[in-house]
Amino acid sequence: MGVEDLVKAVRYAWLTYTLAFINVAVYLYELHLSDSIAGPSVYALLKLALVNVLVTQHHEWWRLFTAMFVHLSWIHLAMNTFFLIYLGSQLELFVGRWRYLILYITAGLFGNVLSVALMDPYTISGGASGALFGIAGALIMIEGILKKNIQSALANAFFLFLINSWMPHVNAIAHLGGLLVGIAFGYIYGNYVKERMMRMLYWDEFY
């Protein structure tokens, strides 16, 4: 990608790049709290990440939101940022910025809520993965609706979930929560686009 291509990408999908920038900025703040460039300390994670017991017993509900921007290592940040830019820019351009932002936040929040509800109280987690699975689920389902192959889309979505959620220290519950939100969004929006396309074809034929 040349400089001109990068400028165009940032211009037309600036919300995706803004979210990526926030992820990087929060990670740098984690390193600042840790007083280290090697990776976030337990202290930094306790300050910012999703700590289930602090949500349920101390009512620190804000962690459901902040945890979406907290990452546990450089590799974790790099992988999520790559897929955010690669997938998120596509969805942002297709559905529009506000719908995209609503999906991103809703998928991330729902994944974290499920994590608190279903996982060990002393679990500490963070990352954009729930929101990213929301993006992936939406893209897959929109394509399935428009190509009239919902069963295949669902199979692809859950295959994506399985191959990315079996490893240790991965919050599979957050992945699943985000994916379900993305599938629901993709189903609704895909049918909306399909209906509009059918109306346009009808009026073209009528006139």
Instruction: Provide the pLDDT confidence category of residue 8 given band limits of 50, 70 and 90.
Output: low
Long-range contacts of 114-119 (CB under 8 A, 24+ apart): 114/173, 114/174, 114/176, 114/177, 115/50, 115/52, 115/171, 115/173, 115/174, 115/177, 116/50, 116/52, 116/55, 116/56, 116/64, 118/173, 119/52, 119/171, 119/173
Here the CATH number for the domain that contains residue 172 is 1.20.1540.10
- Total domains, the chain: 1
Q: Is pTM, for the whole model, over 0.85?
A: yes
Q: Which residues are catalytic?
A: 129, 175
Q: 113 is in which domain, residue-wise?
A: 3-206
Amino acid identity for residue 160 in this structure = L
pLDDT in tens, 36-77: 999 999 999 999 999 999 999 999 999 999 999 999 999 999
pLDDT in tens, 75-93: 999 999 999 999 999 999 9
